[in-house]
Structure 1
Amino acid sequence: MTISAPGTPDFSHMSPEDPVNGLARRLTLLERDYKALLRDHEQLRLRVDELEEGADAWASPRPDGAGQDNNIHHLIAREFVVLVEQRVQNLARAAARSQPSQDPPEALHRRIGAICRVLFGTAEPSPSALLSAVHRSRLDPLASDAARLCERAQEMRRKLESSVMPASWDFEFTPGAPLDETWQEPWPSCTAELPGRFVVAPAYLVAEQVYAKQRVHTG
């Protein structure tokens, strides 16, 4: 014996060939789908409201200016990641002594790390120091690229120095130690389960919070 769900019309007594029976079934199915869409729409609306409230709270400046600072640091972190993955890596590849396709991954990663230390270490970055880090002379054709990279890094440093919240690029590292996933990650193509060997790109920390993880060559 089949028992209909509450609120669902019972069509068992009707003939399957009855056009009224078919139309009633069709209307019931449409009503069920319509109610499901309404529920999904309401859930989506509530989720959007939650996200908008969260975004407003995140963007609202606090009296000490930290709210606005937080926005700036998120922008710096994104700019920093893109800079390392694109322009720094491109310069490191161009500085290869052999053909880029024959360049060992470790050698490339060490050059990226050397460039990052010049750009985001303690000393003020300079094109000559950057070229020296990749074993090129200051008259090398890559000098113009090195100068543009230094200008970008100096702009990011100035934004950081004007911040209310303390921020820094962190190169601290213990060779041979396993990665701490809370603030470190392997450089792409490296394995997370292996111990770290050297820093490729530093972490970006703001008020002891990780805005960009340190990326490490493992092996």
Structure 2
Amino acid sequence: MHEETRGPDGRFSRLEAMLDSVVGDTTELRAYIGSVQAEVEELRQTVAGLEARLDLVVASWTAFRTDLDTEEAESHRTLADRYVNFVEQSLYGVARKAVKEKHGDIPPDRTARMVAGLCSELFGRADVSERRVRRILGVRADHELAQTVQRLVTQARGIVAESVRMKTRGFWEFDHIPGAPLDESRQQAWARCDESDPVEFVVAPAYVAGGTTYSRQRVRTSAS
């Protein structure tokens, strides 16, 4: 059996051996850490390069898009949808009732003209009047539709007020050329009107804000 070295010299030899072992392990550890750091730095540079390329691709892609909505544009779009629903449901509904009560049937041209009159009053004037709305419908203040008139005026005022509160104020565009072909970029045929016929009159104005038409004009067309 090997005898352990005794005395100070033996203890010093063992200590030196242990220190050499530790130094060797530390050197290897440092070398390993250095190699890992180099790999991490290389990976970081690769990722940075990919991110830069991705940024260029996204920038190039978005530069040609026209459908990226700002928060305000989305608000205008929502208001336009609310306006269209108001015209096509509320105004059209009350106009049909008034026309049927007065004429016994519902001629499309009479209904369209009545909706046009309502839109002109509610969205074409600053001083909206319930009395004038009742006159357009042909009903008296004590008529059962009078309460409906109050509700319509309140709703229309709310729509207009919301458009005014926008940073880019919206407005209702009535301009048109009677007898001109329908301009699909800013007009669409009302109800069952033929799009190939020339424009007769505007039933509901367009809603426009910041040069963008969020709701096209509803126009009645006629071949005659």
When the two structures are superposed, what TM-score results if normalisation uses the length of structure 1? Answer: 0.67
Q: 1:159 aligns with which of 158, 162, 168?
A: 162
Unaligned ranges ≥5, structure 2: 1-60
- Corresponding residue of 1:106: 109
Q: How does 1:57-72 map to 2 (within 5 A)?
A: 58=69, 67-72=70-75
Q: 2:136 aligns with which of 133, 141, 157?
A: 133
Quote the Cα distance in structure 1 between the aligned partners of 2:216 and 2:110.
Answer: 21
Quote the Cα distance in structure 2 between the aligned partners of 1:87 and 1:170.
Answer: 20
Quote the Cα distance in structure 1 between the aligned partners of 2:125 and 2:71.
Answer: 25
Q: What's the C-alpha RMSD, in Å, of the aligned pairs? A: 1.8
Deviation for aligned residue 1:119: 1.2
Q: How does 1:60-209 map to 2 (within 5 A)?
A: 67-96=70-99, 97-99=102-104, 102-209=105-212
Contact 1:126 1:147 in 2 (8 A): no
Q: How does 1:16-95 map to 2 (within 5 A)?
A: 58=69, 67-95=70-98
Give me the identity figure in percent: 31
Quote the Cα distance in structure 2 between the aligned partners of 1:158 and 1:82.
Answer: 17
Quote the Cα distance in structure 2 between the aligned partners of 1:117 and 1:137.
Answer: 20
Quote the Cα distance in structure 2 between the aligned partners of 1:117 and 1:209.
Answer: 21
Contact 1:179 1:196 in 2 (8 A): yes
Unaligned ranges ≥5, structure 1: 1-49, 59-66
Contact 1:125 1:153 in 2 (8 A): no
Q: 1:215 aligns with which of 207, 218, 223?
A: 218
Deviation for aligned residue 1:175: 1.0
Note the alpha carbon deviations across 1:87-115, whole angstroms, 9 max, x for none: 1011101111123xx22110010001111
| Amino acid aligned to 1:85 | E
Note the alpha carbon deviations across 1:56-103, whole angstroms, 9 max, x for none: x63xxxxxxxx332222111100011111111011101111123xx22
Quote the Cα distance in structure 2 between the aligned partners of 1:157 and 1:189.
Answer: 28
Helix, strand or coil at the partner of 2:159: helix
Structure with greater helix percent: 2
Q: Which runs of 4+ in 1 moved over 6 A?
A: none
Contact 1:88 1:112 in 2 (8 A): yes
Contact 1:132 1:138 in 2 (8 A): no
Contact 1:127 1:138 in 2 (8 A): no
Helix, strand or coil at the partner of 2:176: coil
When the two structures are superposed, what TM-score results if normalisation uses the length of structure 2? Answer: 0.66
Deviation for aligned residue 1:177: 1.0
Quote the Cα distance in structure 2 between the aligned partners of 1:183 and 1:148.
Answer: 29
Structure with greater Cα Rg? 2
